[in-house]
Chain A
């Protein structure tokens, strides 16, 4: 009974019945008619859901046989698991879609009929196993679409609709022709039968027949360049219709392609190529698009292209077991996200990307928007991420480097334009207001629901991978904290602190070796920086805490990762959360986008490398890195490049200064001192796994060593030339990370200890300085150093922080920094890198330039009059600073409590060369007693201090003010003109300033320009003329045919 009631055939029956009944009911009661429609759609959902449930439970596919005759002699329908999955999705979307656009539907009974029939057509297309029947359902769907698109009958929609009609009729004409030719050759129309007898389809005639069928279906999937009409439709159709066109109709065609794919074995490369071309080209063009609806169109087209590619390639390599995961994942992600986005587009007024800023008036929507974008971009934890991971891994197993490269390139472009869109929505101001009151929650609730579904799907897909339980913890912790994001700042801070502390307590003991040390660095470092987060009294920081917790937890999972997937997942989560945190800055839209793009590019390099390793070793464990290294150096180089990007390596550093400069001031501390260490950790993951091979990689390591030092020098010089305080520190970070890269590349015990020591150092002093600077910036409201000056009188503690910080950076004894320098030179000399040591010395000398500039122009010299009443930094900032200072002093006094564990952690990989005599550390080349030096300096410092004090007792010492200076017998007039601060090292610029020319920036701008130009050239196809589009369709099919014939 239940089975009969829920027979899939009922979908068609009910739809047809409703089609007849609706006009009659509508005439009586439009309201009841609506209820009937909803009931029908709900019934569709129930049927598909029921079958989906039973099929998942292992039930056999439902075969529907018409006319009582077995196939192939009669039309049959099938309702298997795949069909159920697609139809459940489509029908759900249809139900919500109808609800979404009910205002428009309820006016006319015909609209309701069309809608129902439309959905039925889609259902039919998915279910049927008969080629001609497919044609009929195609036509049913198409005709309903034609009408629904032009439902509003405005001029643009009519134009778009007519182009759609032309394309649609051409496509269906070809489909019909192809079907008939196939029938002529094989005598059957049943797809399964055709597949069985496919050897009968031969010769150019057969190829042409298949080509026509395939071409028709592909054209409906909107391949580049024959897709102009589709884009017009997406842009012009009512949002609800466009949503279902993008997700429902396309799903049906994709499914149709899936069904006939077994017939097309020899076509597979061409199909894959056309899909990939579409994917890449659409994403290129998307770079130039400013209308969000059309952008969604490009995105849809691109995603469909990717799905076609994935489908074809997986079939080609007989990896059909991954089709549900890959194509299904891509599909469901595209499906839910695109539907949600089109629905959102319907709410928003205006046709500029910036108009999406209206969403900010409803936070839940902007968050939903973010999730949808993230899902489309293929970032975790959404389904696309898993799908792409699997796709890349599977393809790489068959050495398909080219395919993977272009898939990743397209994905990168997708990230660019999607997040540019998000950035505009977050940053720009729309003069129009979001009006969602009239339609109630009907229009936006489905969006939120779909976001939830996306998350759920992501989780379901994650469970199909071998991942630790905690892998997705960052996401859930973030979501959990997002729920309490409305509470007070202090409360949220405490909650976040508790979460992080609890996580640290859980995580750190479970780590060992270097990971343990990184854990001890990163998590407590994050805690210290988080303490500072409430320093801006009275300023709400929406989203900060959830993202911060997510970031820290993803760093933790990164440390705990044992598989490549776990590592990559944590890496991506870290990227996303840090990107979002950066984008919270006031002017951070562009910098954060650049940061994201570079990070994702880096992540893709890592992904590529992982895939190579997987292909070589067949293992997903991180330990496989070491085995892969035996075969080829490429994974090593790629991984290094990926981490290098994250660290802001030379040439790929262009994201770093602006991202550091524009994000919130305390978060800059986090970025610099903690997040950049993720890159260092990555290096060490690779290094520790490949210890055995490092000896054979002399050339690579030498190159890396030089690059690190050039990075150190260039960073220092550029920092010295910066006027913006945060740029200065950002360049300084680049420089300091350069040393870490070099010491890593030294690859001996001293080198690695030095790298770790420098990393700890960098964490401590950059955290310290950035927090001190955050306080300064909070008080003086300018980032230009020449606009500051003399603040030592107002902010003595901040001054001491910066003082300690710069002494540490510069490596002047007796503080911590000297240990780093000492280890660095020892390691360099031990390795025999003598000229490099000279360069390192130069770089560290240049560092003095910016360090003095930093402290002088801010704290010393002349104070500006407007800063007379500036107060000391808030306590929230001072507490972590003092903690950092205490740590620095403690490590300086007792360097062995730092070096010893580092040495022990490195020892398993590199044999230790250190000898300890009490506090005296002896290496092959030198010796250093940090404790003694500290004490000697301390005592020596007291001697002149006491002397001066004694003498000054005998003098009249008058404390004077800032203008009481010898000014060549004149008097100073304004502090601004007396403070020597602007263009501090003008002569340095004259001498070797050519080294600071922004060539890297120019290069990447060129790349960006080039990408946009490519996009602009590619979209020349889309003239808007229906005949051109029709011509392109013919051209496309022709070229496909030729390609197939040639291959």
Chain B
């Protein structure tokens, strides 16, 4: 593999995913506005917002960890993306998936969150640790169904390599994990609700309780890094789910379509529900979703024949 070329391809991927992520965000906002009978933001609004925050002329800093927090966060997003093949079989969008398998991705997701948590922590604002504590607590809970789902997927395909998992789902729509391993997908989608930070699981930013939580003190260029990451990370996460459960994508339009569809699930649920209390959210995830996850594993163990 030519290193320079693969780095170039990676940069292309990042840019594509960034643009796509921002557009997706705008599209969702627009959709929600239309649901509410509004016109909604222009489709290019997220780009303006990012540039606006990049273009702020003053900033305050609370210390070096505060400065590094967004850097960690964006690194986390970029890295997660780097280890996921975005489009199956594509040389350009294959990224560095050969560096590690699914476990690497699952753990690398924490990298950015950890760095962000530390940076926000140094800001000294009490909402920051409150939000992080809520987020971590909820994360521990929704990781359980997610992990069980991933384990079920692993049991099904007997590999932890994302590329191979995608490869195994090619051919027909009935080869998708969604149909071959429905319990795992159900559990994973429960977890996805928690990851997406839409109601009823938007505990971290929790407007009206701890207004926007961790990034309370982040602004200007720091915030724009976070916004950038948000787009990239959302893209990476969607691609991961798509790869694991929905057959992956062999070209860009399919990817766009599938990820958009996946993303609509938490959005549509989000517009219909109020927010959980933290303890309720934890108990929720440890209840039915975990049970579904366990069923998925047991199903694979005893009846799963693919």
Can you list 6 A-B contacts (CB < 8 A)?
A: A838-B297, A841-B143, A842-B147, A848-B139, A944-B225, A962-B62
- Chain A residues near B54: list those with CB within 8 A: 951
Any B CB within 8 A of the CB of A960: yes
Closest residue of B by beta carbon distance from A920 = B98
User: Which residues of chain B from 138 to 185 have any CB-CB distance to chain A below 8 Å in the complex?
Assistant: 139-141, 143-144, 147-148, 151-152, 154-155, 158-161
**Smallest distance from the beta carbon of B91 to chain A beta carbons, Å?**
18
Q: Contacts A856-B118, A980-B126 known; list 7 others, CB within 8 Å.
A: A813-B79, A829-B154, A834-B301, A838-B294, A838-B297, A856-B117, A947-B225
Q: Pick the interface stretch among A236-244, A286-294, A399-407, A817-825.
A: A817-825
Q: When chains A and B are docked, how far (Å) is the Cα of A849 from the Cα of B140?
A: 8
Any A CB within 8 A of the CB of B96: yes
Given contacts A835-B297, A962-B124, A987-B278, contact A928 B62 (CB under 8 A): no
**Smallest distance from the beta carbon of B140 to chain A beta carbons, Å?**
4
**Smallest distance from the beta carbon of B157 to chain A beta carbons, Å?**
10
Any A CB within 8 A of the CB of B92: no
Q: When chains A and B are docked, how far (Å) is the Cα of A553 from the Cα of B140?
A: 42
- Cross-chain contact B279 with A990 (CB below 8 angstroms): yes
Any A CB within 8 A of the CB of B23: no
- Cross-chain contact A842 with B111 (CB below 8 angstroms): no
- Cross-chain contact A960 with B155 (CB below 8 angstroms): no
User: Which residues of chain B from 281 to 298 have any CB-CB distance to chain A below 8 Å in the complex?
Assistant: 282-283, 286, 293-294, 297-298
Q: Pick the interface stretch among B34-42, B100-108, B238-246.
A: B100-108
Chain B 63-80, CB-CB to A under 8 Å as 1, else 0, gives: 101011011101100110
Q: Pick the interface stretch among B25-33, B216-224, B250-258, B261-269.
A: B216-224
- Cross-chain contact B121 with A965 (CB below 8 angstroms): no
Closest residue of A by beta carbon distance from B144 = A842
- Chain B residues near A940: list those with CB within 8 A: 75, 78-79, 82
- Cross-chain contact B122 with A807 (CB below 8 angstroms): no
- Chain B residues near A842: list those with CB within 8 A: 140, 143-144, 147
- Cross-chain contact A861 with B143 (CB below 8 angstroms): no
- Cross-chain contact A927 with B137 (CB below 8 angstroms): no
- Chain A residues near B125: list those with CB within 8 A: 965-967
Contact of B101 among A848, A928, A941, A990 (CB under 8 A): A928
Q: When chains A and B are docked, how far (Å) is the Cα of A991 from the Cα of B284?
A: 10
Any A CB within 8 A of the CB of B19: no
- Cross-chain contact A984 with B133 (CB below 8 angstroms): yes
Any B CB within 8 A of the CB of A792: yes
The 9 closest A-B pairs by CB, nearest first: A860-B121, A841-B147, A926-B160, A987-B278, A926-B101, A991-B282, A991-B279, A944-B74, A951-B221
- Cross-chain contact A955 with B110 (CB below 8 angstroms): no
- Cross-chain contact B283 with A991 (CB below 8 angstroms): yes
- Chain A residues near B100: list those with CB within 8 A: 813, 822, 926-929, 932-933
- Cross-chain contact A792 with B122 (CB below 8 angstroms): yes
User: Which residues of chain A from 805 to 843 have any CB-CB distance to chain B below 8 Å in the complex?
Assistant: 806-807, 810-813, 818, 821-822, 825-826, 829, 834-835, 837-838, 841-842
**Number of B interface residues in the complex (CB < 8 A):** 85
Q: Which of B68, B124, B277, B282 has the most CB of A within 10 A?
A: B124
- Chain A residues near B43: list those with CB within 8 A: none
Q: When chains A and B are docked, how far (Å) is the Cα of A963 from the Cα of B74?
A: 27
Q: When chains A and B are docked, how far (Å) is the Cα of A857 from the Cα of B137?
A: 16
Chain A 511-526, CB-CB to B under 8 Å as 1, else 0, gives: 0000000000000000
- Cross-chain contact A860 with B99 (CB below 8 angstroms): no
Given contacts A940-B79, A941-B71, contact A955 B99 (CB under 8 A): no
Given contacts A955-B59, A987-B137, contact A841 B75 (CB under 8 A): no
Any A CB within 8 A of the CB of B45: no
- Chain A residues near B282: list those with CB within 8 A: 987-988, 991-992
**Smallest distance from the beta carbon of A116 to chain B beta carbons, Å?**
78
* Chain A, interface residues (CB within 8 Å), range: 35 or more
User: Which residues of chain B from 81 to 121 have any CB-CB distance to chain A below 8 Å in the complex?
Assistant: 82-83, 96, 98-104, 107-108, 110-111, 114, 117-118, 121
Any B CB within 8 A of the CB of A781: no
- Cross-chain contact A845 with B102 (CB below 8 angstroms): no
Any A CB within 8 A of the CB of B2: no
Any B CB within 8 A of the CB of A362: no
- Cross-chain contact A852 with B104 (CB below 8 angstroms): no
Contact of B56 among A835, A933, A955 (CB under 8 A): A955
Any A CB within 8 A of the CB of B130: yes
- Cross-chain contact B79 with A810 (CB below 8 angstroms): no
Q: When chains A and B are docked, how far (Å) is the Cα of A829 from the Cα of B70?
A: 35
- Chain A residues near B133: list those with CB within 8 A: 849, 852-853, 980, 984-985
Q: Provide the main secondary structure of the chain B interface.
A: helix
- Cross-chain contact A987 with B134 (CB below 8 angstroms): yes
Contact of B118 among A803, A862, A944 (CB under 8 A): A803
Q: Which of A807, A951, A952 has the most CB of B within 10 A?
A: A951
Q: When chains A and B are docked, how far (Å) is the Cα of A933 from the Cα of B103?
A: 13
Chain A residues close to B by CB (< 8 Å):
790, 792-793, 799, 803, 806-807, 810-813, 818, 821-822, 825-826, 829, 834-835, 837-838, 841-842, 845-846, 848-849, 852-853, 855-857, 859-862, 920, 925-929, 932-933, 936-937, 940-941, 943-945, 947-948, 951-952, 954-960, 962-967, 978-981, 984-985, 987-988, 990-992
Q: Which of A928, A936, A985 has the most CB of B within 10 A?
A: A936
**Smallest distance from the beta carbon of B1 to chain A beta carbons, Å?**
11
- Chain A residues near B96: list those with CB within 8 A: 932, 936
Contact of A979 among B126, B141, B161, B280 (CB under 8 A): B126
- Chain A residues near B220: list those with CB within 8 A: 955
Any A CB within 8 A of the CB of B208: no
- Cross-chain contact B217 with A852 (CB below 8 angstroms): no
- Cross-chain contact B82 with A821 (CB below 8 angstroms): no
- Cross-chain contact A822 with B103 (CB below 8 angstroms): yes
- Chain A residues near B108: list those with CB within 8 A: 812-813
- Cross-chain contact B58 with A980 (CB below 8 angstroms): no
**Smallest distance from the beta carbon of A959 to chain B beta carbons, Å?**
5
- Chain A residues near B63: list those with CB within 8 A: 792-793, 959
Any A CB within 8 A of the CB of B129: yes
- Chain A residues near B132: list those with CB within 8 A: 852, 856
Closest residue of A by beta carbon distance from B113 = A848
- Cross-chain contact A813 with B221 (CB below 8 angstroms): no
- Cross-chain contact A965 with B123 (CB below 8 angstroms): yes
Given contacts A841-B143, A951-B221, contact A992 B286 (CB under 8 A): yes
- Chain B residues near A860: list those with CB within 8 A: 65, 118, 121-122, 124, 129
- Chain B residues near A821: list those with CB within 8 A: 103, 107
Given contacts A855-B118, A932-B96, contact A845 B140 (CB under 8 A): yes
Any A CB within 8 A of the CB of B52: no
- Cross-chain contact A812 with B107 (CB below 8 angstroms): yes
**Smallest distance from the beta carbon of A315 to chain B beta carbons, Å?**
59
Chain B 197-224, CB-CB to A under 8 Å as 1, else 0, gives: 0000000000000000000110011101
Q: When chains A and B are docked, how far (Å) is the Cα of A978 from the Cα of B127?
A: 10
**Smallest distance from the beta carbon of A567 to chain B beta carbons, Å?**
37
- Chain A residues near B301: list those with CB within 8 A: 834
- Chain A residues near B293: list those with CB within 8 A: 838
- Cross-chain contact B82 with A988 (CB below 8 angstroms): no
- Cross-chain contact B58 with A936 (CB below 8 angstroms): no
Given contacts A838-B144, A956-B58, contact A980 B130 (CB under 8 A): yes
**Smallest distance from the beta carbon of B6 to chain A beta carbons, Å?**
11
- Cross-chain contact B67 with A948 (CB below 8 angstroms): yes
